[in-house]
Structure 1
Amino acid sequence: MTEQTTTADQAATTAEQQHFDHLISEDSRVEPRDWMPEAYRKSLTRQVSQHAHSEIIGMQPEANWITRAPSLKRKAVLMAKVQDEAGHGLYLYSAAETLGTPRSVLNEQLLSGKAKYSSIFNYPARTWADMGAIGWLVDGAAICNQVPLCRASYGPYGRAMVRICKEESFHQRQGWEILYELSHGTEAQKKMAQDAVNRFYGPALQMFGPPDADSPNSQQSMEWNIKRFSNDELRQRFVDMIVPQAEALGLTLPDPDLKWNEERGHYDYGELDWNEFMSVIKGSGPCNVQRMKRRREAHANGAWVREAAQAYAERQAREAAASSEDAQDQTTVMAGRGSAELIGA
């Protein structure tokens, strides 16, 4: 490579970087065909694929309750919700693929344990009230986290989030309704609802990620306009939102340090168990092994579907190619006949 070529390449890269920086500074969208720094691409691939994995793994605790739902209506609603989660995973895998990593690679990273998913799904759903706690707390936290992502600087991710957030609002409402009925039911039902909230409150707050001081990716994501708020800012918003909701439900949030701070204009809350959080992320949660075992089994059991779909796609491609060749041959024949008629005339 000559010195002149190297200089030209450097100039081109500088111009591309300047264009990228301009898009970010103007709060515009970066699209798949736009040049982007490799670090931006890598960070987005990690975030979007982890989000997709979480949607897919997150189907498991709720799917377990479809056959045990207390009524046909509840069963139908829960089935619709689980189906939505599968769709969310597909939206997000499609967005991640536009960054250059095939879906097969992303899936293999999940199955091998290399890729992570949200730690909240490594906790068991023990009772029907847990379906309410997951909907109200877990999906509520997801909404707080994901609504700002609708304005993410990467176009495909932001557009996917618009649709996902609309459906998540239904999920949060479903959870609220379950807990409302239980908390206004019998003493046993109230106790079950309170127990579910006690178990999911802490892990739900941990969904926003570690404290800002311990988050290695949050600040850079904010500078790139992928994220709009820090982990702690989002967590505070969520706490401020759910305190009055818990009062309306007649349930108690399990935090003795939870109180209104007039000076800050926010609720103060107690320190979360970050040692437990890290332990679950590293694979020592109550359901880590079970979740991945079922995911691998589902992948293996679905091999015949993928093979059949691939065979069908290949056959369709062959038939389309053959049809195109036949049409081309017919056009050639007709053109030849036309030339012969002109010569004869």
Structure 2
Amino acid sequence: MHRINNGEKIEADDWMPDEYRITLIKLISMHGISEIMGALPEKEWVPKAPSLKRKLGIMAKVQDEMGHGQLLLRVAEDLMKPYGKTREDIMQDLFTGRLKFHNVFHMEAPTWGDAGLIGWLVDGAAIISQTNMLDASYGPYARALKRICAEEVFHAQHGESIIMALAEGTKEQREMVQGAINRWWDSLLMFFGPADASTTGTSKQDITIKYRIRTKTNEQLRQDFFSKYIPRVLSLGLTIPDETMHFDNNQGKWLYKQPDWERFKEIVRNNGPKSKERLELRQITYVENQWVRDALANSNH
């Protein structure tokens, strides 16, 4: 704690208490798997993108997200070595339901507006969350995040480009964007997690702040997201699907209707609209590509 409080970085081969190591493993494994699972809603739009330029853009984004996942799983794998676990265990934990992936990636993306919104607002939320950990006390994670955040900025610009084109288009195209916002609003609120431990019975955010893996609470990050994106949404003539939402000058924060946190727990337990379908696709792909892992293992020998 003295080293962390002095701003030093903890490295993979340093001694660390189990609480710190396990917290990092859970956080980074979930982050890495979420990058991989997060590519799947947009992957569905690669063959359906409305132009060659858009197709190339979304293909590049899917490729980036998979790369982020691989980078993070390497970081997690180093942390797991003292417990005799490997990346294979991370994948098996995903397939058995022990390892969760982010709530937003259990959701449907039925229109091109949804594909744009994922890049604009979901990746926008991810940038806010991840930049909060750029100075994380664990050096390998902090360094990985520097690369990931740089690429996520391009992803958000890609999504914003799609949304701007639709918002400036026909009545049907504008309605497509509004429909996507309406569908994704609760998921965006849930993105940062519950405000306090009373909602889930855990205090993960307190542990990550204690060890200076991040500096802000879930609610502070959510408020940052509101301040950045609500003016942008409204400037396009779109509406927020929450009539109660407003900025309270006295309290200095946004007031809003809470999402259904019980539903949030159900979603992350793999009971979301597309949970089983996306997990099945990931599992089939993992089995079908076993030959690649075997070839790589043999080449190392």
Q: TM-score, normalised by structure 1?
A: 0.83
Q: Is the 8 A contact 2:100 2:268 kept in 1?
A: yes
Q: Is the 8 A contact 1:119 1:207 kept in 2?
A: yes
| Deviation of 1:49 (Å) | 0.3
| Deviation of 1:309 (Å) | 1.9
**Which residue of structure 1 lines up, in the alignment, with residue 229 of structure 2?**
242
**Which residue of structure 2 lines up, in the alignment, with residue 168 of structure 1?**
152
Q: Is the 8 A contact 1:135 1:173 kept in 2?
A: yes
1:130-150 Cα shifts (integer Å, max 9, x gaps): 011111111011011000111
**Which residue of structure 1 lines up, in the alignment, with residue 101 of structure 2?**
117
Residue 213 in structure 1 maps to residue 197 in structure 2: yes
| Deviation of 1:110 (Å) | 1.2
Q: Is the 8 A contact 2:37 2:105 kept in 1?
A: yes
**Residue identity in the other structure for 2:169:** G
Residue 254 in structure 1 maps to residue 238 in structure 2: no
Q: TM-score, normalised by structure 2?
A: 0.95
- Out of 250, 255, 280, the position equivalent to 1:263 is 250
Query: How has the CA–CA distance of structure 1 residues 211 and 266 changed in structure 2, closer, same or farther, with 3 Å as cutoff?
Result: closer
SS for the counterpart of 1:98 is helix
- Out of 48, 52, 63, the position equivalent to 1:68 is 48
Residue 311 in structure 1 maps to residue 295 in structure 2: no
**Residue identity in the other structure for 1:198:** N
**Which residue of structure 2 lines up, in the alignment, with residue 16 of structure 1?**
none
Write the distance in 2 (CA, Å) between the matches of 1:192 and 1:203: 18
- Out of 113, 123, 147, the position equivalent to 2:131 is 147
- Out of 50, 63, 68, the position equivalent to 2:30 is 50
1:233-277 Cα shifts (integer Å, max 9, x gaps): 111111111111102222111111111211133322211121211
Q: Is the 8 A contact 1:97 1:103 kept in 2?
A: yes
Q: Is the 8 A contact 1:137 1:200 kept in 2?
A: no
Q: Which has the higher contact order (CA 8 A, sep 6+)?
A: 2
Write the distance in 1 (CA, Å) between the matches of 2:197 and 2:94: 27
SS for the counterpart of 2:247 is strand
1:290-345 Cα shifts (integer Å, max 9, x gaps): 0110010000110111112222222xxxxxxxxxxxxxxxxxxxxxxxxxxxxxxx
Residue 96 in structure 1 maps to residue 80 in structure 2: no
| Deviation of 1:22 (Å) | 1.1
**Which residue of structure 2 lines up, in the alignment, with residue 178 of structure 1?**
162
1:170-223 Cα shifts (integer Å, max 9, x gaps): 111111111111111101001111000111121012111112233421111101
Q: Is the 8 A contact 1:109 1:115 kept in 2?
A: yes
SS for the counterpart of 1:149 is coil
The alignment-based identity, stated in percent, is: 40
**Which residue of structure 2 lines up, in the alignment, with residue 32 of structure 1?**
12
Write the distance in 2 (CA, Å) between the matches of 1:91 and 1:249: 36
| Deviation of 1:73 (Å) | 0.3
Write the distance in 1 (CA, Å) between the matches of 2:185 and 2:4: 36
| Gap runs ≥5 in structure 1 | 1-20, 315-345
Write the distance in 1 (CA, Å) between the matches of 2:246 and 2:193: 22
| Deviation of 1:98 (Å) | 1.9
Write the distance in 2 (CA, Å) between the matches of 1:246 and 1:146: 22
Write the distance in 1 (CA, Å) between the matches of 2:245 and 2:97: 36
**Which residue of structure 1 lines up, in the alignment, with residue 266 of structure 2?**
279
1:63-97 Cα shifts (integer Å, max 9, x gaps): 01001000000001101100000110011011112
1:118-176 Cα shifts (integer Å, max 9, x gaps): 01111111000001111111101101100011111100001000110011111111111
**Residue identity in the other structure for 1:80:** A
Cα RMSD after superposing both structures: 1.1
Q: Is the 8 A contact 2:136 2:213 kept in 1?
A: yes
Structure 1's consecutive aligned runs of 4 or more residues displaced over 6 angstroms after TM superposition are none
**Residue identity in the other structure for 1:151:** D
**Residue identity in the other structure for 1:296:** Q
**Residue identity in the other structure for 2:197:** A
Write the distance in 2 (CA, Å) between the matches of 1:256 and 1:44: 38
Larger Rg: 1
Write the distance in 2 (CA, Å) between the matches of 1:37 and 1:310: 32
Residue 298 in structure 1 maps to residue 285 in structure 2: yes
| Gap runs ≥5 in structure 2 | none
SS for the counterpart of 2:133 is helix
Residue 79 in structure 1 maps to residue 59 in structure 2: yes
**Residue identity in the other structure for 2:246:** K
